[in-house]
Amino acid sequence: MTTITPYIAKGTSVGQKIGVKVKKMVWFKVGQGTVEILSSQEVKIGGKIKFLGYDGDLTIHLKLDGSEPTAVQGPCCLQLNSHVDEKAKFLASSKMLTVHAVLGGKKQSINILPVEKGTQTECELFGHINETVHLDPV
């Protein structure tokens, strides 16, 4: 069964503060949040972000369908702020977890992987939005 924890920063725990950084030639801190839920099948981060004209709440919520014990791909639910795709799909490899979703009517994919020797989580967004975001434990 695919689990979320190998794809996020080592030592991540519920209640942990997270800095949100975006790369535009150099890394910029654009927000912060807190890990609200963390299990083998689910992660949720809530906080605030200010980037590209958006200044408001941040919600990242990913829940894998754990009904198939040997699955490396399958259904999941992805929420980014107010946009939710309950029919999203995930694909796990040895290096990253990729989620394909339709958010606000637009196709969006996200590669999730640990970076910086496992101390940060990288979220590489591609599709409607193309950005590289790091979630950095504070």
Q: Is the dihedral of CA 80, 98, 137, 34 positive or negative?
A: positive
Return the pLDDT at 69: 65
Q: How many angstroms separate the Cα of 3 from the Cα of each of 6, 27, 96?
A: 7, 29, 11
State the average pLDDT for the chain.
93
d(CA 114, CA 77): 21
Return the pLDDT at 66: 75
Which residues, in sequence order, are CB contacts of 121 under 8 Å at separation 6+?
7, 8, 9, 12, 112, 113, 114, 115, 134, 135
Residue 130 burial class via C-beta count within 10 angstroms: exposed 0-12, middle 13-18, buried 19 and up: exposed
pLDDT at 53 exceeding the cut of 90: no
Residue 72, CB-side half-sphere exposure with 13 Å CA sphere: 5
Mean pLDDT, residues 27-50 taken together: 95
pLDDT at 56 exceeding the cut of 90: yes
**Per-residue pLDDT reduced to its tens digit, 100-112:** 999 999 999 999 9
Mean pLDDT, residues 79-95 taken together: 95
Q: How many domains does the chain have?
A: 1
Return the pLDDT at 64: 94
User: Tell me, what DSSP letter sits at residue 48?
Assistant: E
The domain of 115 spans 5-137
**Per-residue pLDDT reduced to its tens digit, 60-82:** 999 998 777 678 999 999 999 99
Return the pLDDT at 54: 86
User: Tell me, what DSSP letter sits at residue 12?
Assistant: -
Return the pLDDT at 129: 87
CATH number for the domain that contains residue 37 = 2.40.128
